[in-house]
Amino acid sequence: MAPVPQSLGGQVDNILKILEDNGTIDIPNDRWVAFPVDPAQATGQEDAVFHWQGLTTIFNAVIAAAQQIDSSLEHTFDFIVNGIHETREKGKSEQKQVGTGDVVTQNAGGKPPKNERYLVYDLANPHQFKLGDAEKDENDDFAKLVYDMEQILALDPCRRFTFGTTIENCITRLWFLSHATLLRTKPFDLMKDHHVVPNLPEQLTLISPSSWLS
């Protein structure tokens, strides 16, 4: 991925302090406040559990904290849960399945109501999540995510690679797909690995196009 903006280098502790002070994270108890319990213990479908009270809240709070440190940083992408994406070629819409999310360019949406529409070209990082973390959950997320990433590469001739994210309960992985290579990171814990989580919104959202070339 593109590196964290230079002004945020070494600022993870300061960002976490801002998030702790504003009630986004409870560090002593290893808990993002938006998740009072782990997803596996929550009730409801994946999109409800991971929506506003979950990932969207954390995503937006991290961006706001980073901009407190450097107000010149531009927020260029948004996180949308269960949106509807379209393709220019076929002019048809496809409703994402329950338990999905996308990081999309800001001009594609903004606030994430369920009926938000955006083009496959605008997808930067598709997500798949499951409440459980059994092997079948991991395999299902993997299959669906790779399909989404392949669609992005197939429908956008200018795209040489794309990223994706899977979350099973708290087990989180980042994926990379090019036309020749599929890679994934080691898993990290969405709740406990505080120093890792803020990097993802920062690297996906607060970068300029030239950052990918550095």
Q: Output the domain CATH number for residue 200.
A: 3.90.1570
Q: Does the residue 195 lie in any domain?
A: yes
Distance CA 214, CA 11 (A): 20
The residue ranking higher by pLDDT, 97 or 129, is 129
Q: Does the residue 128 lie in any domain?
A: yes
pLDDT at 205: 76
pLDDT at 9: 85
pLDDT at 151: 86
Q: In the chain, pLDDT over 90 holds for what percent of residues?
A: 37
Our count of domains for the chain comes to 1
- What range does the domain containing 192 cover? 6-208
Residue 186: pLDDT above 50?
Answer: yes
pLDDT at 103: 64
Q: Does the residue 213 lie in any domain?
A: no
Give the pLDDT band (50/70/90) at residue 46. confident
pLDDT at 110: 43
Q: Does the residue 199 lie in any domain?
A: yes
Q: Does the residue 131 lie in any domain?
A: yes
Q: Does the residue 143 lie in any domain?
A: yes
Q: Does the residue 57 lie in any domain?
A: yes
pLDDT at 214: 41
